[in-house]
Structure 1
């Protein structure tokens, strides 16, 4: 076995887990309605079957005031407990263990009845909270106890108390917010009182076999946040009250520092977890951007933690644990930290799934059913849409040939993997290539295909996934040697200049700017990342903050756009601010609301406010959109082939890997 530490059992007190893998809490968008609980039960059961030693559900409020939104998930009544029962039953049926996370949002709630330690409004909520009185605090504590009692009645094996990420309990424990002058605020002893009283109240109403996890904020990552000595004081007090396990909490939601996005290095904040583990005698779990077995094994072997908490990796692959235990690491569909189908969905009220795994939370309707009449299928184009379609078709028993005109698979995803901070995107390509080989898909590289080729091969169905070509604007001088397309730059066909104009401020334009900023000096190793953003995991710095030491590129980069809206407006809901901040830290300049006139040896000429100006640069990079590659379409249709068009070939205007991979699955299902 390659990962002996990961797959060793651990006694948590109330029970023993078979391995050190925790599936961490993720809100799925399904917790609010019991009509979706069967779907959740199937989702969690698959992860228990796939090797998760312990599962923690998405957050459920312990009181009405603690809901995330009007009608948000809560555990308040016997009826609530009865509705939940199917979830632990499904997990227990396959030998798994599952805990309910109790999450009181406090001032982070999106409803008018939010409450907190003070009246200070959160920057991420439109509602100002009510500052609780002593009586009202006692009522919220009682709510935690009752919710825990109901969770045990529902069949859960324990609860995780959310005491971090800037939620309700953290709003009391941290000096960043709690400036009360009564017994619930001021001195650390008073600020810690709420957390301690909640644990005491819960212990009074649950059995000794009921697991109590506390997610403790190790690094608030906000100004005037909790100093380390107070983290230690709180941890020791909670241990003395009978908490069985600490889970690591990193950063508040309002913090302007990335903690789980793709550019965060593996286990970037594990030093804080290691400090906690040296202090307490109960097990401690490490978390944040751990997505492969080698990383987990190293953290456990080096005594950083006793368990490893991963959330989104279990979205990406339900069998993550089983594959790791069987030493099938290359078969793991790896989480790339993109947030596009998980967190971005949550924040717009959509059900969660996964960009690299459309089956996630769709297990109830997406099933691999063998084809009644296997066909000889040609997939033309080896980007993620084509690879997804080829894998899915082969899994259903079709004979599949995948044609790719370049010398490697990956398409636009291959370019994305060249961006510093997106290196994990290459893991998706590794996964697909492993599956293609295992399923016997014939992959033909450097192979521009013709209708005659398909006729000769007796192809019966064609999936056209030829992707996109970069759009070249109709601009005088665009054919000069100092003008390059983004794909030429990212493939290394052209070296970066020193004074550069990037035309187009969409996602690709931002990616190109980050490439230009960091291609010579990446900040993707842990130490460089922490210095760059101003984070410390040692000492007693308040909230874990230090003075940032950002990397400034030696190049002069200007990002240009025609529209007048804020640069990066169309970027991801939960990651756009990170990319905008990164470019600002790197010194990238913006030209907004301009009209391009021409390009010549002097640089880029543009008009702004009716004034003609020249941006003196030695290189112009075109990120001005894409056009679908449909050169084969007419010939295929004329020859009578049944053609399904997917990915960028189907719609270039909204280049979207999430849509492309799902379309690959759907196209193969209809064969």
Structure 2
């Protein structure tokens, strides 16, 4: 496929962009490090070299109480201008354009980070913040509006090509607009016009401050996904008011951080919210930007060709592959390291107060020290195991010039990624495997499948070094009856070596058990095309379709501990567990196992004993490291161990790929 529309230049105010792909704003937290601004500069410059049309920074606080603390990017003092110039200089030298996002988090601000009480239109506590905000007074509202304008002027002085006003995702401007969070009865609250006033005044004041020739983008909420919040009719009206206020483009955000609807997780279909941007585009004449779960430029091309928006915002896809635009423009789609929307190293890190990275691209945040350099001494290296750790090690080793041979006992690459990609809603893992197949082929890495590597073989072939990435072995807990014929391991189920009955008890309730439960309750899906046909012709209604897409199994997850889904990320765990509950999966915690019988699993919970009736009992109670080869080789050939073979525990592709990337740079 050849791209055309996505590569067309577009005008935003006085600024011409080389193409219609924008890197959306992300908080990455690099500023917390000693050389944080330099790291940010290197990070953004790498994306500029990848030829993205416009980069938008993470939010820069316009007021101290509305930011994330002194260590993050701020724009409320003149002294903030000089550090920001390091970023704009780096991006411009790389041939890119960059906008600063003007940010105030309102009631989402954390007092432990700012040292100040959070503020909001009304003193209503956010469910995701333990600090209750105080209500802004009229003079403080005026001061905050002016702070946005002053921040925009500082951004212009720092060399930014544009600014974006953050009015989405449940932050301060969005809080003023929504009747859920704005209960005021003065000129800043009440009916829609008064609730909209704060955002419109910010837009007008920023426009007045920077002049007519400096581009201003407004990131507005297209869909709050909060009950009783702003209506779509009001949203379209607000968009028209923003155009009238002098905005040059509208970037359409989806959902609040407290929303109970997944918007960016892997389970969300690609492009599921483009229709919202399309609704807004019909009400304005300035460019409209669509976002959320668009991770392929071919998908962006189709959206733009259908005239559903004017630009496409990609945030996490540019974490996963900073060169996604350049590669795609050259037709090298298979070489793109596609974002799989796992959130494990980006959003989960940020919400845990860590520095953001990327599961499939651990170079994020390490651009300065991890730039790939050719090996000083070329070696013949064996990588034993073709799971995520081994694949990444092989890729990096080969990129640096080593001769690499991958030895895998299974008949396909991927290791336990082949389990994950079977789970409904996790098909994006297919993209990661496609990426590695393409890269290893491009780099002429020899892959031998169906080979059980031995010490003798590795010595005989004369490998200079060996990387052991042999993964894990499912753990078998000591429970009476575990050897009965209806007891199987999670690996046997994923590898289709075991027939599973209609009543299933899973011993274990971690991440792998959650994946397994999804697979077992939804293992007979109807294709989307077939579902559309059946419902369009009223062969099946929505209720019947839902029933048809279920396997009919009853699944129980059992755990000695207190919590289900440990190991799942903070931003997705709640959605995964809610989905399982909707499908009737029962989760029983703080239990003890008495025995497994032909009828099921006998447990005790408190003082009560009960039988969990089951045709099949699946053991998903963790794993142990498969490190025998490492110990055999140690002292005979220089050997390294990574991934699950180094440390078992919950299956962790993030750690596996990180360790593979690190060892590939170390040899």
TM-score band, normalised by shorter chain: over 0.9
Equivalent residue number for residue 399 of structure 2: 395
Equivalent residue number for residue 561 of structure 1: 559
Contact in 2 for aligned 1:56/1:160 (Cα 8 Å)? yes
Contact in 1 for aligned 2:327/2:335 (Cα 8 Å)? yes
Q: Aligned to 1:646, which of 631, 642, 657?
A: 642
| 1:63 and 2:60 correspond | no
Equivalent residue number for residue 97 of structure 2: 97
Report SS of the residue matched to 2:624.
strand
Equivalent residue number for residue 256 of structure 1: 260
| 1:2 and 2:2 correspond | yes
Label 1:114 to 1:303 Cα distance change in 2 as closer, same or farther (>3 A).
same
TM-score, with structure 2 as normaliser: 0.94
- Per-residue CA deviation, residues 130-167 of structure 1 (Å, 9 max, x unaligned), is 11121111010000000000000000111111111111
Structure 1 residue 246 displacement after superposition: 0.7
d(CA) in 2 for partners of 1:299, 1:250? 17
Label 1:662 to 1:13 Cα distance change in 2 as closer, same or farther (>3 A).
same
Equivalent residue number for residue 598 of structure 2: 601
Structure 1 residue 465 displacement after superposition: 0.4
Report SS of the residue matched to 2:57.
strand
Equivalent residue number for residue 187 of structure 2: 183
Report SS of the residue matched to 2:570.
coil
Report SS of the residue matched to 2:5.
coil
Structure 1 residue 658 displacement after superposition: 1.3
Equivalent residue number for residue 455 of structure 2: 451
Contact in 2 for aligned 1:10/1:20 (Cα 8 Å)? yes
Equivalent residue number for residue 503 of structure 2: 499
Q: Aligned to 1:267, which of 251, 264, 271?
A: 271
- Per-residue CA deviation, residues 174-201 of structure 1 (Å, 9 max, x unaligned), is 1122121111111111001001100111
Label 1:526 to 1:128 Cα distance change in 2 as closer, same or farther (>3 A).
farther
d(CA) in 2 for partners of 1:35, 1:210? 30
Structure 1 residue 505 displacement after superposition: 0.8
d(CA) in 2 for partners of 1:5, 1:279? 22
| 1:584 and 2:581 correspond | yes
Report SS of the residue matched to 1:364.
coil
Structure 1 residue 332 displacement after superposition: 0.4
Contact in 2 for aligned 1:343/1:574 (Cα 8 Å)? yes
Structure 1 residue 71 displacement after superposition: 5.4
- Per-residue CA deviation, residues 539-595 of structure 1 (Å, 9 max, x unaligned), is xxxxxxxxxx897662211110011x2322442121111112111222211211111
d(CA) in 2 for partners of 1:146, 1:31? 22
| 1:411 and 2:415 correspond | yes
Structure 1 residue 526 displacement after superposition: 13
Label 1:454 to 1:382 Cα distance change in 2 as closer, same or farther (>3 A).
same
d(CA) in 1 for partners of 2:33, 2:371? 24
d(CA) in 2 for partners of 1:496, 1:12? 57
Report SS of the residue matched to 1:574.
helix
Structure 1 residue 208 displacement after superposition: 2.6
Report SS of the residue matched to 2:611.
strand
- Per-residue CA deviation, residues 349-407 of structure 1 (Å, 9 max, x unaligned), is 21111111111121100021111111110000000100111111111111110000000
Equivalent residue number for residue 423 of structure 1: 427
Contact in 2 for aligned 1:630/1:649 (Cα 8 Å)? yes
d(CA) in 2 for partners of 1:90, 1:446? 48
Q: Aligned to 2:138, which of 134, 139, 143?
A: 134
Contact in 2 for aligned 1:503/1:621 (Cα 8 Å)? yes
Q: CA RMSD in A?
A: 2.0
Out of 446-455 and 355-364, give the one that drifted further.
446-455
Structure 1 residue 637 displacement after superposition: 2.6
| 1:161 and 2:165 correspond | yes
Equivalent residue number for residue 627 of structure 2: 630
Equivalent residue number for residue 489 of structure 1: 493
d(CA) in 2 for partners of 1:287, 1:495? 42
- Per-residue CA deviation, residues 14-33 of structure 1 (Å, 9 max, x unaligned), is 11101111000010112457
Q: Aligned to 2:659, which of 655, 658, 663?
A: 663
Contact in 2 for aligned 1:18/1:53 (Cα 8 Å)? yes
Contact in 1 for aligned 2:29/2:72 (Cα 8 Å)? no
Structure 1 residue 207 displacement after superposition: 3.1
| 1:441 and 2:445 correspond | yes
Contact in 2 for aligned 1:31/1:58 (Cα 8 Å)? no
Contact in 2 for aligned 1:378/1:401 (Cα 8 Å)? yes
Contact in 2 for aligned 1:553/1:586 (Cα 8 Å)? no
d(CA) in 2 for partners of 1:338, 1:124? 21
Report SS of the residue matched to 1:291.
coil
- Per-residue CA deviation, residues 496-542 of structure 1 (Å, 9 max, x unaligned), is 321111111111111111112222237989999xx9xxxxxxxxxxx
d(CA) in 1 for partners of 2:72, 2:325? 31
Equivalent residue number for residue 48 of structure 1: 48
Contact in 1 for aligned 2:559/2:588 (Cα 8 Å)? yes
d(CA) in 2 for partners of 1:174, 1:141? 18
Unaligned 5+ segments in structure 2 are 536-545
Unaligned 5+ segments in structure 1 are 532-548
Matches within 5 A, 1:141-540: 141-521=145-525
Contact in 2 for aligned 1:60/1:74 (Cα 8 Å)? yes
Structure 1 residue 103 displacement after superposition: 1.5
d(CA) in 1 for partners of 2:48, 2:528? 32
Structure 1 residue 491 displacement after superposition: 2.4
- Which 4+ residue blocks in structure 1 deviate beyond 6 angstroms? 522-528, 549-552
Equivalent residue number for residue 14 of structure 2: 14
d(CA) in 1 for partners of 2:232, 2:296? 29
Structure 1 residue 620 displacement after superposition: 1.1
d(CA) in 1 for partners of 2:209, 2:323? 35
How many residue pairs get aligned? The number is 651
Report SS of the residue matched to 2:318.
helix
Equivalent residue number for residue 570 of structure 2: 573
Contact in 1 for aligned 2:521/2:554 (Cα 8 Å)? no
Label 1:245 to 1:495 Cα distance change in 2 as closer, same or farther (>3 A).
farther
